[in-house]
Amino acid sequence: MINTASEMQAALRTAKFAGVILYEGPSMIDGSPIVVIANRITARSKNEKTGAMVQTFIIRSDIDPVTALKSCDDASVCGDCPHRPANNGTCYVRVFQSVASTFKAYKRNRYARPGVDYDVKLTADLFRGLAFRMGSYGDPAAAPFMVWRRATVNAAVINGYTHQWRQVEFQAFRLLCMASADSVADMNDAHELGWRTFRVRAANEPVAAKREVVCPASNEAGNRTSCADCKACGGLSAKAKVSMVIIAHGATAKRFATAA
C-alpha cells in the first residue's frame, strides 16, 4: 500500500493508476451503492471552459451509467435534478462517453482504492494546489460531505454544484458548492438559505442586477477565463461573494429554451 503523497503522485504520473477512488458506499440520496472517482489530471484539457481540473465522477458502482439512465437508477447519483434525461432535462454530460469510459476502467481495477492501494490519510495532499471539480458527473451530495472536504482542503480551486440545496441534511455543502438554480425563484430561495447560486437561464431572460454576474468563462461573457482560473464557483469557501448565471449551453440547450 502506498503511504506517501509523493509515491501516489508518481504512480499517477506513470499511469500505474488512472486515478483514485475517493468513496465506495451507500448513496446519501437513496442508499444505493455508488463510487466517487477522481481521474488523473492532465496538463491540458480538451474543455476550454473548465481548463485543467481534477475531474470527479459519481456513478452507481453496480450498474453501468448508460443502463442507469435508461432504468432511472441515475437518481442515486443525480437526485431530483430537473436536468436528468428521465425528466426530459437539459443535462449536457455525454454519459456514453467519459462517464461510461470511467465506469469501464473502474471495473478493470484501474483506480487506486483507499485502504488497499493507498492510505486514505493521503487524500488531502493528493490534490494540493490543484483545481478540483466536484461532480463532473453526478451531484456531490450523493457522497458524504467529509469525503469532499478531505479531498479539497488543500486544493487551489474548488468547483461544485448541487441541486440538493433545499434538503436540510445537505446544508453543509454550502461551503464547497453553488446551489444549482433553474429560475429566479430558485435563486431567491437558495439565497434565503445562505447559499451562493449558479443559475442557468434562457437566452431571453435577464440577469438579476446586483445579485448575480454572467459566468466569465461563458460564451456570452467572451470566454474571458476558464473555471480553473476564475475560482468563483466554490460556494462560501470562494473569495467571490456574488452569484453566477449562464445561458443554457451544450447539445440540449434548445430544450431548456423551449421549456423556459
**pLDDT score for 258:** 42
CA distance 219 to 3: 43
The cell numbers describing 176, all together, are 464547497
pLDDT of residue 218: 85
- Which pLDDT score is estimated for 226? 84
Q: What is the pLDDT of residue 8?
A: 80
pLDDT at 144: 98
- Write down the pLDDT at residue 40: 74
Distance CA 230, CA 227 (A): 5
DSSP secondary structure letters along the chain:
-B-SHHHHHHHHHTTSSSEEEEEEEE-TTT--EEEEEEEPP-SS-S-TTT-S-EEEEEEESSS-HHHHHHHTTTHHHHTT-TTSGGGT------IIIIIHHHHHHHHTT-EEPBTTTB-GGGHHHHTTTSEEEEEEES-GGGS-HHHHHHHHTT-SEEEEEES-TTSGGGGGGGGT-EEEESSHHHHHHHHHTT--EEEEE-TTSPP-TTTEEE-TTSTTTT--S-HHHH---SGGGSS--SEEEEE--STTHHHHHHH-
pLDDT at residue 249, rounded to an integer: 64
What is the residue-level pLDDT of the chain in tens, covering all 260 positions? 888 878 887 887 777 889 999 999 999 999 999 999 998 764 444 544 545 789 999 999 999 999 999 999 999 999 988 888 777 667 878 888 999 999 999 999 999 999 999 998 889 888 999 999 999 999 999 999 999 999 999 999 999 999 999 999 999 999 999 999 999 999 999 999 999 999 998 888 899 878 899 999 888 878 888 888 889 999 999 999 999 999 886 555 555 554 44
pLDDT of residue 227: 84
